């Protein structure tokens, strides 16, 4: 565990390689040498295009897959050493995930109350009055308990279901919440409400959040720190404002150039060449060979070479 007392989890040199095939196996490096600290009450945006490895990092933290190399330290222990059923249950008591499709999380045959019944049945939650605790958690996420409890999933909107899952995390007093594309399936009018709720819950309860997204605007709006991923590597990381105002890695610069601006119409003649980005990154690494990660300013580091 890192020395900073506010660090609740430390990711150290995390690598995940997937193997496919038996006779002539192929290996895919989904994440390589990922390191960062997760601090209490802070929101980290993990940003990158599809296939960059950000969801793999989330799955590794949630112990849904095992790392090939590296460690995830929680409470002074590498989580890969957590084997016993009771110990695993206690880990999931404090580390939870909310995913992209809220409707896939709920069983359509059961009322939504079941998500609360399950955590009270599975974990030793210290509440004198279970029903009152649930009602208070729902009020915390701006849901009316009388209009929410007893409903089936199809009777609620996607935004309401995501709020229910945040309420579940609050009841469990979660230390680390993995929010993987939390609002990507919600309409625009609902998104801002869920994001504001996440920020408020994070600050009020001291919950740390890993906000996985491909949307730079959302990352800037919500996060204290930003991690930019490209082809399984962290290529730029640090204070969100500094990363956004002084993007240095060629991939990060490309991401910002690709963001449309309000008031400017799309130019149909403008071309985007993915292979040009690959070439720019290659040249950038060759020019800075041997440097590795460099802190270019306080709380802002860039991967200058991948060797």
| Confidence category of residue 285, pLDDT binned at 50, 70, 90 | very high
* CATH fold for domain 7-303: Rossmann fold (3.40.50)
Long-range contact set of residues 105-114: C-beta below 8 Å, sequence gap at least 24: 105/161, 105/165, 106/153, 106/161, 107/153, 108/152, 108/153, 108/154, 110/152, 111/149, 111/150, 111/151, 111/152, 112/148, 112/149, 112/151, 112/152, 112/153, 112/156, 112/161, 112/164, 113/149, 113/150
Alpha-carbon separation of residue 1 from 8, 36, 175 (angstroms): 8, 11, 15
Long-range contact set of residues 126-130: C-beta below 8 Å, sequence gap at least 24: 127/171
Residue 2 scores a pLDDT above 60 = no
Residue 204 scores a pLDDT above 90 = no
Read off the pLDDT of residues 141-184 as tens digits, 9 standing for 90 and up: 888 999 999 999 999 988 888 889 888 888 888 999 999 887 77
Which range (55-59, 150-154, 187-191, 195-199) has the least confidence? 187-191
182-216: burial string, b at 16+ Cβ within 10 Å, e else: bbebbeeebbebbbebbbebbeeebbbbbbbbbbb
Please tell me the predicted confidence (pLDDT) of residue 269: 66
Instruction: Give the separation between CA 66 and CA 239, rounded to whole angstroms.
Output: 29
Please tell me the predicted confidence (pLDDT) of residue 1: 38
Read off the pLDDT of residues 15-66 as tens digits, 9 standing for 90 and up: 999 988 888 889 999 999 999 999 999 999 999 988 899 999 999 999 999 9
Q: In this prediction, what percent of the chain has a pLDDT beyond 70?
A: 95
Q: Where in the chain are the domains?
A: 7-303
Higher pLDDT, 270 or 3: 270
Q: How many CB atoms lie within 10 A of CB 83?
A: 7
Higher pLDDT, 262 or 218: 218
Token readout for 172 is 């469990």
Three-state DSSP at 260 gives coil
CB 29 within 8 A of CB 89: no
Residue 229 scores a pLDDT above 50 = yes
Q: In this prediction, what percent of the chain has a pLDDT beyond 90?
A: 52
Instruction: Give the separation between CA 159 and CA 188, rounded to whole angstroms.
Output: 10
Read off the pLDDT of residues 122-142 as tens digits, 9 standing for 90 and up: 888 888 888 999 999 898 888
Predicted structure pTM score: 0.87
CB 16 within 8 A of CB 8: no
Please tell me the predicted confidence (pLDDT) of residue 271: 63
Read off the pLDDT of residues 108-124 as tens digits, 9 standing for 90 and up: 999 999 999 988 888 88
| Confidence category of residue 302, pLDDT binned at 50, 70, 90 | very high
Angle between helices 250-257 and 274-287 (to 10 degrees): 150
DSSP per position, 150-186: T--GGGS-HHHHHHHHHHHHHHTT-SEEEEESTTTTS
Provide mean pLDDT across the span 196-221.
87
Residue 197 scores a pLDDT above 90 = no
Q: What is the mean pLDDT of the chain?
A: 88
Higher pLDDT, 70 or 307: 70
Which range (2-11, 89-98, 262-271, 272-281) has the least confidence? 262-271
Higher pLDDT, 181 or 235: 235
| Confidence category of residue 186, pLDDT binned at 50, 70, 90 | confident
DSSP per position, 62-125: TTSS--SEEEEEETTEEGGG--SHHHHHHHHHHEEEE-S-HHHHS-TTS-TTHHHHHHHHHS--
Residue 4 scores a pLDDT above 70 = no
């Amino acid at each position: 565990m890192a020395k900073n007392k506010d660090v609740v989890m430390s990711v150290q040199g995390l690598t995940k390689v997937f193997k496919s095939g038996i006779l002539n196996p192929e290996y895919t490096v989904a994440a390589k040498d990922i390191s960062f600290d997760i601090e209490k009450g802070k929101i980290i945006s993990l940003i990158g295009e599809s296939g960059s490895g950000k969801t793999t990092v989330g799955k590794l933290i949630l112990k849904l897959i095992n790392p090939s190399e590296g460690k995830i330290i929680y409470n002074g222990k590498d989580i890969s050493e957590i084997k016993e059923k009771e110990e695993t249950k206690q880990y999931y008591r404090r580390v939870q995930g909310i995913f992209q499709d809220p409707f896939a999380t709920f069983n359509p045959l059961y009322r939504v109350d079941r998500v609360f019944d399950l955590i009270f049945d599975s974990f030793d939650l210290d509440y004198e009055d279970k029903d009152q605790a649930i009602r208070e958690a729902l009020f915390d996420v701006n849901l009316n308990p009388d209009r929410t409890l007893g409903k089936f999933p199809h009777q609620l909107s996607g935004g309401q279901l995501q709020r229910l899952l945040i309420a579940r995390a609050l009841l469990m007093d979660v230390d680390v919440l993995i929010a993987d594309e939390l609002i990507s399936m919600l309409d625009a009018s609902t998104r801002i409400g869920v994001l504001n709720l996440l920020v408020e819950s994070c600050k009020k309860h001291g919950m740390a959040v890993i906000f996985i997204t491909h949307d730079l605007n959302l990352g800037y709006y919500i996060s204290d720190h930003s991690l930019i991923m490209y082809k399984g590597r962290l290529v730029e990381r640090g204070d969100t404002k500094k990363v956004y105002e002084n993007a240095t890695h060629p991939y990060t610069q490309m991401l910002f150039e690709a963001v449309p601006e309000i008031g400017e119409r799309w130019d149909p003649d403008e071309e985007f060449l993915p292979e040009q980005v690959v070439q720019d990154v290659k040249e950038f690494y060759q020019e800075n060979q041997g440097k590795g990660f460099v802190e270019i300013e306080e709380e802002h580091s860039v991967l200058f070479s991948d060797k």
